[in-house]
């Protein structure tokens, strides 16, 4: 019996998106060399439906690609594709999604359900049969150093003592038909475990999953604490243990209904050049770097497999919509557990996962006023010592009279509440991810610097929890009765019936 639902079965996820018009099946032939990526890139920038390419020049017959699996949509709230990753209603907004993720962090983990086999093993290739080229691996940007097989997949590795199995995200570039190359940074869970095996002089047993259960691919990008198994969190998030089956070669458990599973080893010594690649921060640089080689010895996949891909670059794309959302949930959980006066946390998609915004609860400040420097010190101690703070270099503090998920309100708050020379606190020694584009060469070598907390809190908010001034807008500048009258008469005035304002939103 195959597990179903958009959160736990990627094929169901695709079918649901097609049914509601948020994905489109493309039967015209599309080239894997830049064309598929160009279509996906335009989808990100226009809010169009996710493209599923059924006929790919450069792929074996029946092998398919899907772009923009978690792009923002012009339909409804815009978060429909993201909500579908977790089995949530399409109308869910940012707060609905993040609160669901946080609630699952406090819930009892639900262990995966082990099954004998699944759709992921409908086709099996081992040894000389292995050929990564048959998938039509896309070239994503013309400046890239190679074609990228893994931009929306997850690594599965386990520590040598068997105590920790990690599901994690890190890109993989095609090297040849039987090998890949990509980063495994020491601060990443993938890199931590790889180094444990390398210290023993052994290759790291490894699997890589594409078309994983959507909730699993999201959890794999979440900065959960070291030693925590993502599979139990996925169970808590979805209410059911995710079905897994034994990998073809290793004693690793992989999602039973995945689209594609590749298996092999991470070489303990040998490296090759990887990149350059257009990246999540929106820039394309010319650097390529030596990275570990991932040797592929087996491939299993579903009938007519779908290889999902992300075209990293200017936001929003999956590095912002999924990774940023999971980071926001982790930050909110950390702050709440530390009794910080937080209302919400959000990685603004437009900021390319380079800042996280924390809204401070004004009621809490009213009950217990606090100085700005003390508030900043507290949040730095919580976030900049965590994996969340390692990933995101900037923190913005805003009172919760601002909806921090609305970029227009946030820009207004930055323009009218930031006090130049007074509201910014720099943390030069805080560790951070070396991919941040404005870091100096020395910062990158030291993997420190580029960290700051910027306060957009008014002095009155800190002292008494009260906002100086009232926002001049529809909801505050007119009596409630008149507001409702205007909403009720909206179409009578001559505005379109399908306008969001016609529904009072």
pLDDT tens-digit readout, 43-82:
999 999 999 999 999 999 999 999 999 999 999 899 999 9
> Is residue 57, in this structure, part of any structural domain at all?
yes
Residues 243, 374 within the same domain: no
* pLDDT confidence band for 154 (50 / 70 / 90): very high
**Of 260, 291, 309, which closes a domain?**
309
**Is residue 222 marked as binding?**
yes
Residues 144, 48 within the same domain: yes
pLDDT greater than 80 at residue 406: yes
Residues 26, 105 within the same domain: yes
Q: b/e per residue, 246-260, with b = 16+ CB within 10 A?
A: bbbbbebbbbbbbbb
* pLDDT confidence band for 295 (50 / 70 / 90): very high
According to the model, what pLDDT value does residue 502 have? Answer: 47
> Is residue 178, in this structure, part of any structural domain at all?
yes
According to the model, what pLDDT value does residue 503 have? Answer: 47
According to the model, what pLDDT value does residue 498 have? Answer: 63
> Is residue 469, in this structure, part of any structural domain at all?
no
**Is residue 387 marked as binding?**
yes
| Rounded average pLDDT over 312-326 | 95
| Rounded average pLDDT over 264-277 | 95
* pLDDT confidence band for 385 (50 / 70 / 90): very high
Task: Give the up-direction half-sphere exposure of residue 124: CA atoms within 13 A in the CB hemisphere.
Answer: 9
Q: Which residue has the higher pLDDT, 358 or 450?
A: 358
**Is residue 346 marked as binding?**
no
* pLDDT confidence band for 286 (50 / 70 / 90): confident
Length of the chain: 505
pTM as predicted: 0.93
Per-residue pLDDT reduced to its tens digit, 458-505: 999 999 999 999 999 999 999 999 999 999 999 999 998 765 554 445
pLDDT greater than 80 at residue 227: no
Q: For residue 460, indicate whether it is catalytic.
A: no
| Rounded average pLDDT over 21-26 | 98
What domain count does the chain have? 3
> Is residue 426, in this structure, part of any structural domain at all?
yes
Per-residue pLDDT reduced to its tens digit, 102-135: 999 999 999 999 999 999 999 999 999 999 999 9
| Rounded average pLDDT over 260-283 | 94
| Rounded average pLDDT over 447-463 | 92
At 425, which CATH number? 3.40.1670.10
Residues 291, 401 within the same domain: no
- Of the residues 16, 259, 263, 279, only one is catalytic, namely 279
**Is residue 301 marked as binding?**
no
Nearest to 93 by CA among 404, 358, 495: 404
> Is residue 318, in this structure, part of any structural domain at all?
no
pLDDT greater than 70 at residue 180: yes
Separation CA 440–CA 43 (nearest Å) = 33
Residues 458, 375 within the same domain: yes
> Is residue 200, in this structure, part of any structural domain at all?
yes
Alpha-carbon torsion (50, 217, 436, 333), positive or negative: positive
At 72, which CATH number? 2.30.110.10
**Is residue 171 marked as binding?**
yes
Separation CA 243–CA 9 (nearest Å) = 10
**Is residue 220 marked as binding?**
yes
**Is residue 297 marked as binding?**
no
Residues 155, 268 within the same domain: yes
| Rounded average pLDDT over 225-241 | 90
Per DSSP, the residues of 253-319 read EEETT-SEEEEEEEEEEEEEEE-----TTS------EEEEEEEEEEEEE-SS-EEEE---SSSSSHH
Domain of residue 493 covers 480-504
Percent of the chain topping pLDDT 70: 98
> Is residue 327, in this structure, part of any structural domain at all?
no
pLDDT greater than 50 at residue 405: yes
According to the model, what pLDDT value does residue 214 have? Answer: 98
Residues 222, 350 within the same domain: no
Residues 345, 282 within the same domain: no
Residues 158, 240 within the same domain: yes
> Is residue 205, in this structure, part of any structural domain at all?
yes
Nearest to 10 by CA among 293, 306, 379, 313: 306
Consecutive H or E run containing 485: helix 480-488
Residues 210, 100 within the same domain: yes
Residues 390, 490 within the same domain: no
Residues 286, 404 within the same domain: no
């Amino acid at each position: 019996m195959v597990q179903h639902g958009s959160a736990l079965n990627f094929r169901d996820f695709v079918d649901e998106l097609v049914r509601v018009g948020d994905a489109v099946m493309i039967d015209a032939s599309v080239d894997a060399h830049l064309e598929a990526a160009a279509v996906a890139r335009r989808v990100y920038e226009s809010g169009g439906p996710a493209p599923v390419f059924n006929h790919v020049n450069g792929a074996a017959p029946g092998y398919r690609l899907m772009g923009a699996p978690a792009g923002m949509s012009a339909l409804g709230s815009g978060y429909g594709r993201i909500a579908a990753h977790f089995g949530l209603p399409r109308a869910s907004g940012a707060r609905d999604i993040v609160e669901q993720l946080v609630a699952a962090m406090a819930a009892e983990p639900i262990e995966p359900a082990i099954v004998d086999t699944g759709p992921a093993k409908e086709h099996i290739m081992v040894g000389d049969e292995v050929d990564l080229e048959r998938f039509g691996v896309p070239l994503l940007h013309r400046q890239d150093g190679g074609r990228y097989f893994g931009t929306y997949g997850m690594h599965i590795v386990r520590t040598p003592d068997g105590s920790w199995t990690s599901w994690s995200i890190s890109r993989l570039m095609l090297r040849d038909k039987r090998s890949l190359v990509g980063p495994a940074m020491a601060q990443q869970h993938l890199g931590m475990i790889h180094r444990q095996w390398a210290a023993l002089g052994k290759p790291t047993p490894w699997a890589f999953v594409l078309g994983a259960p959507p909730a699993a691919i999201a959890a794999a990008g979440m900065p959960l604490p070291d030693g925590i198994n993502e599979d139990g969190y996925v169970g808590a998030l979805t209410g059911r243990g995710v079905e897994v089956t034994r990998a073809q070669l290793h004693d690793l458990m992989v999602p039973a209904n995945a689209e594609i599973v590749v298996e092999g080893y991470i070489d303990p010594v040998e490296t090759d050049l990887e990149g350059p690649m257009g990246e999540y921060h929106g820039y394309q640089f010319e650097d390529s770097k030596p990275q570990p080689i991932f040797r592929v010895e087996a491939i299993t996949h579903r009938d007519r497999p779908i290889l999902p891909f992300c075209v990293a670059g200017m936001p929003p794309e999956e590095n912002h919509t999924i990774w940023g959302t999971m980071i926001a949930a982790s930050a909110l959980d950390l702050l709440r557990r530390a009794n910080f006066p937080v209302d919400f946390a959000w990685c603004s998609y437009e900021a390319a996962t380079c800042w996280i915004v924390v809204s401070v609860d004004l009621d809490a400040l009213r009950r217990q006023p606090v100085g700005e420097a003390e508030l900043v010190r507290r949040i730095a101690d919580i976030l900049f010592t965590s994996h969340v703070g390692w990933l995101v270099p900037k923190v913005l503090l805003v009172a919760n009279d601002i909806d921090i998920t609305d970029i227009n309100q946030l820009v207004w708050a930055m323009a009218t509440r930031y006090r130049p020379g007074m509201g910014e606190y720099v943390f030069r020694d805080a560790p951070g991810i070396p991919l941040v584009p404005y870091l100096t060469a020395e910062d990158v070598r030291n993997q420190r610097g580029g960290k700051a907390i910027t306060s957009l809190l008014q002095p009155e908010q800190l002292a008494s929890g009260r906002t100086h001034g009232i926002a001049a807008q529809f909801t505050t500048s007119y009596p409630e009765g008149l507001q409702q009258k205007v909403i009720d008469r909206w179409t009578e005035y001559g505005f379109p019936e399908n306008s969001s304002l016609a529904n009072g939103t």
